Every structure is written in structure tokens, then in C-alpha cells.
Structure 1
Amino acid sequence: MEKNKPSILNAWCMYDWANSVHALVIVSAIFPIYFSNTAVNAQGGPDVEFLGLTVNNSALFSFAVSFAFLFIAVVNPILGAIADFSGQKKRFMQFFVYLGALSCLGLYFFDREHLTIGILAFTLSLIGWSGSIVFYNAYLPEIATENRFDKLSARGFTMGYVGSVLLLIFNLTMLIKPEWYGGIDSGTACRISFVTVAVWWIGFAQIPFYYLPNGTPSNEARTGGWIWNGFRELKKVLAELNHLPITKRFLVSFFFYNMGVQTVMYIGTLFGSNELHLPDNALIVTILLLQILAIVGAYFAAVLSGKWGNTKTIALILFIWIGVCVSGYFVYTELEFYGLAAMIGFVMGGVQSLSRSTYAKLLPENTPDTASYFSFYDACDKFSTFLGTTIFGIITQLSGMRNSLLFLAFIFVLGLLILRRIPSQKIYRTPLSGT
């Protein structure tokens, strides 16, 4: 297909605009606060009954994230291979979008008496959101030339940050000015905000669904159905990865440092709420600040990578992440939390956008198996998120959140040490026989 076509590039970026409202409103801002206030026992304490077990609500939130990402990490490599063979990449993306958005609608019915509904809907929304991302990311090397990967990836994340902030501001008006909406209570305002996420996500996703290509079925003559040939496709890509040592090394590094990034993003709001007991308004303002700084960070990382190379830029960002985790251990005041959030915001956008574009540069040139390759990237993303949030939840359950932050600092160090063994040329190209 023709690369660098403006209408397709713009449509691709629009999916970041469409789906990022889930990451902000559901994962980071309103839902975690609503969850903390709703998932409580009869005395108002954080220990709740779930499936016959007594669990700290912060740990339960963390375990729900862990389960969703473990599930996606297991199934997406298979689905990615099937999508490559069948040429149905967009259909798979659509399925996960509708699953995630409809699950956000289900969160409307989550209250103190229906904890199971809330956990189930939240988990399914994460599965839908994360499942769609692998097929979305797989379009990047198909629609753009390599010299545009970094800036296009940063542009997508930036549009996501802007769009999600706009919807969050609208949702905040229901909480701050309930009289504008007939005097609704804060709980109803939160539940309506979950519905707005579903409508926004499905509505704006129609733009990339219209413009992005469906994909081309494999022209290899094979017997059997899509599932069987999907496993064959997966086996082929695994064999190719064995001849791509730099790509494999980057995936290992990404696995470790992404474990820290995603855990901070999913648990950070709960740290401010449960550990520092900050008011809800302060937390939401902090999250808005974080999103704005992430826009600056994403573009700054793209510019810096053009001068230093990708891995050197990511290494600098990881140094800052290590400082964030160590500093978080000593944070006790609202002002200190704001400073920490500002640091997180600046490095959050950069590490996400640059990781995606760096991996795209490490793929074999003109490979037709982009969904399969990105399914391994996504598997590293989801397995690391599963492991990070699980360990964070266990440490929190046993000894509190602050000790969990030291664990995150350690895994950032591991990711940095592995990353330093990867060359940082501005433009990567890894042939199948690469070294």
C-alpha cells in the first residue's frame, strides 16, 4: 500500500484520540477514585469481600489489571498471527474496541452492592482496550516510512492526551458543577462519565475503521482453517525472531522497564488517594497536569531521538523514572506529590511513544507479518504489566505501597542495563540475518 498518505496517517492517529479516554478516565482518573470510595466494607474500610476472600481494595484493583493483561498476553500472539494470515487485522481491532467500550457502559451499574459487576466490567474493558492496541500499533510500519516513525508515534500519543483531557474536563464539570446537570450526586456523575468514555471511544474509532486498510491475506498456499494457519504463522515469526538478536534484546529491556512504567500509571492515583489521603479534586488536577506534560515529553523525546538516537534517549528517560520511584518512597505531602506527578508526566509520553517507534524500526524491512511481530511487543507489554501490578499488589498487601516503589526502581535499573547493550543509531534496520 501507499505509505505516508496523509488521510491514512491522520486516521491512524485518531485511534489514539479515540481510545486514550479509557486510559485516562477509567484507568487513571475518575474510576480509581470512584473505586476507592465504592469498594469498601460496611465500616468504610478498604478490606472487602470478593469471591469469598478478604482483599485490600488497592490490591484487588491491581489484581484485576494483572488478570486482564495476562489474558491478553496469552491470546494476542495467536490472534495476531491469525490476523496476518487471514488479512482481517481491522476486524480483530474492531472486536476488541466494541468489547472494551460496551464494558465501560457496564460500569454504570457498579455500586457498593455490586462489586463483582464493577470488577468484571473493569477487567473486560481493559481486555478490550489492550487487545485493540496490538492491531492498531501493527499498522505503523505499513502506513509510514521509517524516517517518520518517531514523530508519527509521538503525534498519535499527543492526540490521545489532548482528546482524553478534553473529555475528562467535561466529566469534571459534572463533579464540580452538579447544578448544571440537575443537581446529580457525585456517584451518578462518575457513572455517567464511564458512559461518555464508551460513546467517545466507539464514535471516534469509526474514523480509523473507515480509512485504515483491511489487510491482505497471506498468499502462501496452506491447508486448514485460520486458526491452524495462525499457529503456523506464529511459528514462522518466532523462527525469524531467533535471527534478530537486537530486536530480542530490546524486547527484554522493554519487558523490564515497561513493568515499572505501566505499574506507576495504573497504581499512581491509588497511591495519592490511599497512602497520602489527598482530596479527590487534587488527584484529578494532578492527572490533568500529568497529561499536559506528557504531550511536551512525547515531542521532546522525538526531537531528542533524532539527535542522539532512540536507545540513548530512552536510557535518559529511564534514569528519570528511577529517580521518580526512589523519590516516591519519601513523598508525604501534597506539594511533593505534585512535583512527582510532574516528573512522571514529562517522561510518560516520551517512553511510550519512543518505545513503539523503536520497535517498529527493529522489524525486518517490508515484512507482511506486522500484527504477529507487534503481538510479541504487546505480549511483553501485557506480561510485564501483569507481573508488575501483581508483585506491586502482593507487596502492598504485605507491607504497604512505599516498599513497592523500591521494587519498581529495581526493575527500571534492569531495563536500563539491558538497553545500554543496544546500538542507538538514528535509523534502525535489522535484516533477518542481523546481529
Structure 2
Amino acid sequence: MSAVETPQTPETPGSPQLSTKRERVGWYFYDWANSAFSTTVVTVFLGPYLTSIAEKAAGCDGDACDDAVIHPLGIAIAPGALFPYTVSLSVFLTVFVLPVVGAVADRSPRKKQLLALFAYLGAAATTGMLFLTGDRYLLGAALFLLANVAFGASVVVYNSFLPQISSEEDRDRVSSLGWAFGYLGGGLLLLLNVAAVLMKDSLGMSTGDIARYSIVSAGLWWAGFTTIPLLRLRNRPLLEPPTAGVNVLIDGFRQLWHTLRSLKAYPLTLFFLVAYLIYNDGIQTVIALASQYGTKELGLSDDVLVPTILMVQFLAFAGALLLGWLAKRYGAWKTLLGSLVLWTVIIVIAYFLPAKEPLLFVALGGGIGLVLGGSQALSRSLFSQLIPKGREGEYFGIYEISDKGTSWLGPLLFGLAYDTTRSYRVAIISLLVFFVAGFLALLAVPIRKAIEQAGNTPPSRL
């Protein structure tokens, strides 16, 4: 029998049915679609490109910018601090937006349409960076703010499908496959953009032009492949009907307030969430600012940096599958703790990494790739088991505050450290606090008890 013909249990409001293989593959494809934004825009091209635009506005270039400043909205900052500050501001906005989006998703029978709205809005803002030229750093910052907030909102809705399409025992595998699929898709587009970087002379284009068109390509990729999940995912009956006669947005705000109050009834879920917000903020900051660190501190060219980050994407695909396998054998919680130890080692090595040593940077990138996808996938699957049934969207709205591309404390600390010391090495080692504190917080969570407290059945291994 084909995946499309897989028998389904009847839909009833009290028991949402699981999915067919066809629908799960469609769900994976949204990770494939949106990872182009995380990889090509956030991780590789926008940081250095927006920094160069800001440096041009400040009337300097590269090493001559140590004492230069720009004045966005009348505030004097170093050009090199613009991108991390912009990332931090975008996430400050998501703190208010994403939980409401999650609550609305749980109260709306059109969850798939909400996914389309935010995905296409983010893709349009990304594509609009075609006009990011000259010294228009404020345009780049504004478009990124819109794109990153829309990205986070779309992933809230996307993640809320996970408990609806997979059982407790299968969730680590499904989540890991989604992340692996995403890194494969993001890596494939980055491969095409790397080819363009390496061929820039024969194409008659500057590095800046290649960066700008690569950013635009991520927006087109995001929009194009989003059509697949929209065709395959299904809206499901609400477990609780929306309040009669009340607008779904207003109902969403009410539900958000109820969610925040109800977290007191699930203290272990809240404890896990705090641990996740800490360590994943560090992970996301490394992802967002690795290219800026490699370019500005280690003096590596795009010919080294971009292929290395490309390698990371494909290793992250393998790493997500590897850590998913380890989680099945040893438990997701134990495997996740092990990955945080490796992240701590990576940050220490990055601090001592000598400049202009491409082989050492490539080796460090290999270590990042092996733990990157798996640590994120297992975090998502663990959290999905700590959510009371029927409230996936609102809880993932809070979770997403520090998910892919939406960290804020890390970029803020990185930006402040650099703004104060003008040293990227001090900025990168400052991130160590997130991994150490996150590990200790996660270690203190009694995960089996936390799952049971949320009314769910723990898997056999944790």
C-alpha cells in the first residue's frame, strides 16, 4: 500500500489523527525551504555584506574602521556591531510576536494558511534585499528585521504540527529527519552560491554582488519550496473550539495570557524551556556570527569561509541522523547533554584558533557540523513531549523565541563585547557562559517526571 493510501483513524476533536508518510515528507520540506534563509542569509552572506555596507556609510573599509561609527536612529555604534545588534533587536520583537502567533495557531482551524502567510512574508522581505546597495544599511536592517520575525512566526506554526504527525516513540526520529532534511536543502542552495563565489571573476561580478544575489536566491528558494508543505499538510480539528463571537486574534491574546499563567502548573516544562533558551541562544549566535568572526578576526577569504560553512551544512545533515540514532540507543536527554559538552569545547578552540590558518578553521567547522543539527532536533522533540495536548502552537511560540535565527542575548553580548573591546576573540569567548549554564540547567531537569507532569507518556529511553 502506498504512503498516500495509508489507513487513517477517523478525525475526532478529542483525538487528532497521526499522519501519512506523504504528509510527513511534506512537513520535512518546510525545513528544506526555510533553511535557505538560516544558511545563506543569516549564517554566511548577510553579516559580512551588511557590515561592508555599514563600513561604506561610515567612510571606511575593513581594518581602517576601528574607530569609525555609524548612527542608526541617532545612536552611535561601530559598523561591525550593526548586524549582531540587528539580530538582537529582531528577537526582542519576536518575544512579543511569536507567543501570540502560537496561541492564534491553536485557536484557528486554518493553521496551514497561517504558515503560508508568514513564510511568504519572510521570503518577500528576503528577496527585497536585491535593493540593498550603496550605503543603505538601514534598508538592510529593516528588511532583515521583517524577514527574521516572519521566519520565526512561520516556524512556530510549523513546529506545532510535530506532535500531530508523530507518536511519542517516533518523535525523535521525525524531528531529526526534519532537521536533517533542512540542512540538506540549505546546503544545496549554499553549494550553488559557493559555485558563484568561486566563479565570480569569470562571471564578471564583485564579491558584494554575489553576496546580494545569493541573499535574494534564498528568498526565492524559501517561497518556491514552501508550496510543497502547503499542498501536503492538513488542517486538523481543534481540540478546543474558539470562543464564540470573539476574533481569533483577540482570542489568541487571551490564550497567551492563560498560557503564561498555566506554566505554573508545569514547572518542569518551564525549567526545560529556560535551559533551552540559554544554551540554544549560544548555538544560534555561533551560527549567525561565525562568518563575521572568520572574516574579520581570522582574516579568512570567502574562498575558504563559504566552502567551510557549506561543509558544515552537509555534516549537520549527517550529524542530525547520527545524534538521532544515539538518542534511540541511549536517550535524547543524555545525547543532548553530550552535545553541549562538545559545544563548550568548540568555543574554547575557536578562541585560540590562529588567524589565517584555513585547515584548522575547516576542522573546527567539521566539529560544529556534527553537533549542530542533532542538538537542535533533539531539543525540539524533547520539548514536544513536555507540552499538554492541544496547546502545541502556544508553547512552541514561546520555544521559538530562541530557535533558528532568533537568539537575542547571544548577539547582544557578542555585540557589546566587540563594541567595548573591539576584539572578536573576546566576543566569541563570551558565549561560553551560555553553554555551561545551559548544560547545568538541562542536567537539573528530571525529564521523565517532566513528561509525565505534562500528561504525556515518556519514551522507553531518555
Question: In terms of mean alpha carbon deviation, does 170-179 or 150-159 score higher?
Answer: 170-179
The match for 2:41 is 26
Shift of residue 81 of structure 1? 1.1
Question: Alpha carbons of 1:417 and 1:238: their partners in 2 closer, same or farther (altered >3 Å)?
Answer: same
Q: Does 1:330 align with 2:345?
A: no
Question: Alpha carbons of 1:237 and 1:434: their partners in 2 closer, same or farther (altered >3 Å)?
Answer: farther
2:106 touches 2:392 (CA, 8 Å); kept in 1? yes
Shift of residue 79 of structure 1? 2.1
Measure the CA separation in 2 of the matches of 1:154 and 1:197. 23
The match for 1:211 is 232
Shift of residue 48 of structure 1? 4.4
Shift of residue 220 of structure 1? 5.3
The match for 1:186 is 207
* 1:319-367 Cα shifts (integer Å, max 9, x gaps): 1111111222211132332222221111111111110011012222xx1
* 1:92-148 Cα shifts (integer Å, max 9, x gaps): 222211121111111111123222111211222211212211110110001111111
The match for 2:178 is 156
Shift of residue 215 of structure 1? 4.0
Shift of residue 391 of structure 1? 1.4
Shift of residue 159 of structure 1? 1.2
Shift of residue 286 of structure 1? 1.2
Measure the CA separation in 2 of the matches of 1:239 and 1:349. 32
The match for 1:121 is 143
Question: In terms of mean alpha carbon deviation, does 287-296 or 30-39 score higher?
Answer: 30-39
Aligned pairs for 1:98-117 within 5 A: 98-117=120-139
Among candidates 184, 189, 197, match of residue 218 of structure 2 = 197
In structure 2, the gaps of 5 or more residues are 1-15
Question: Alpha carbons of 1:104 and 1:380: their partners in 2 closer, same or farther (altered >3 Å)?
Answer: closer
Measure the CA separation in 1 of the matches of 2:136 and 2:19. 48
SS of 2:151's partner is helix
SS of 1:242's partner is helix
Question: In terms of mean alpha carbon deviation, does 287-296 or 401-410 score higher?
Answer: 401-410
Aligned pairs for 1:17-416 within 5 A: 17-40=32-55, 41-44=58-61, 45-46=64-65, 47-51=68-72, 52-178=74-200, 181=203, 183-217=204-238, 218-219=240-241, 221-333=243-355, 334=357, 335-364=359-388, 367-381=389-403, 385-399=407-421, 400-416=423-439
Shift of residue 284 of structure 1? 0.3
Letter matched to residue 16 of structure 1: D
Question: Alpha carbons of 1:103 and 1:300: their partners in 2 closer, same or farther (altered >3 Å)?
Answer: same
1:33 touches 1:280 (CA, 8 Å); kept in 2? no
Question: In terms of mean alpha carbon deviation, does 291-300 or 416-425 score higher?
Answer: 416-425
* 1:249-280 Cα shifts (integer Å, max 9, x gaps): 11111011112111111111111111111111
Measure the CA separation in 1 of the matches of 2:188 and 2:246. 48
SS of 2:265's partner is coil
Question: Alpha carbons of 1:388 and 1:186: their partners in 2 closer, same or farther (altered >3 Å)?
Answer: closer
Number of residue pairs aligned between Structure 1 and Structure 2: 432
Measure the CA separation in 1 of the matches of 2:443 and 2:42. 31
1:81 touches 1:231 (CA, 8 Å); kept in 2? yes
The match for 2:18 is 3
SS of 2:246's partner is coil
Letter matched to residue 50 of structure 1: H
2:336 touches 2:375 (CA, 8 Å); kept in 1? yes
Shift of residue 428 of structure 1? 4.3
2:176 touches 2:320 (CA, 8 Å); kept in 1? yes
1:295 touches 1:349 (CA, 8 Å); kept in 2? yes
The match for 1:431 is 454
2:272 touches 2:442 (CA, 8 Å); kept in 1? yes
Question: In terms of mean alpha carbon deviation, does 43-52 or 316-325 score higher?
Answer: 43-52
1:48 touches 1:54 (CA, 8 Å); kept in 2? yes
SS of 2:70's partner is strand
**TM-score normalised to structure 1 length:** 0.93
1:18 touches 1:202 (CA, 8 Å); kept in 2? yes
Shift of residue 402 of structure 1? 1.7
* 1:75-96 Cα shifts (integer Å, max 9, x gaps): 1111211221122322222221
Question: Alpha carbons of 1:255 and 1:11: their partners in 2 closer, same or farther (altered >3 Å)?
Answer: same
Question: Alpha carbons of 1:428 and 1:302: their partners in 2 closer, same or farther (altered >3 Å)?
Answer: farther
The match for 2:5 is none
* 1:366-388 Cα shifts (integer Å, max 9, x gaps): x1221111112113548981111
Question: Alpha carbons of 1:120 and 1:413: their partners in 2 closer, same or farther (altered >3 Å)?
Answer: same
Measure the CA separation in 1 of the matches of 2:90 and 2:236. 27
Measure the CA separation in 2 of the matches of 1:206 and 1:5. 18
SS of 2:170's partner is helix
Measure the CA separation in 1 of the matches of 2:291 and 2:124. 24
Letter matched to residue 346 of structure 1: L
Question: Alpha carbons of 1:306 and 1:428: their partners in 2 closer, same or farther (altered >3 Å)?
Answer: farther
2:51 touches 2:82 (CA, 8 Å); kept in 1? no
* 1:189-246 Cα shifts (integer Å, max 9, x gaps): 3222222212111111011111212343542554432233223322333344222232
1:73 touches 1:383 (CA, 8 Å); kept in 2? no
Question: Alpha carbons of 1:278 and 1:179: their partners in 2 closer, same or farther (altered >3 Å)?
Answer: closer
Measure the CA separation in 1 of the matches of 2:451 and 2:457. 11
Measure the CA separation in 1 of the matches of 2:135 and 2:219. 23
The match for 2:10 is none
Measure the CA separation in 2 of the matches of 1:178 and 1:431. 54
SS of 1:332's partner is coil
**TM-score normalised to structure 2 length:** 0.87
Question: Alpha carbons of 1:42 and 1:58: their partners in 2 closer, same or farther (altered >3 Å)?
Answer: closer
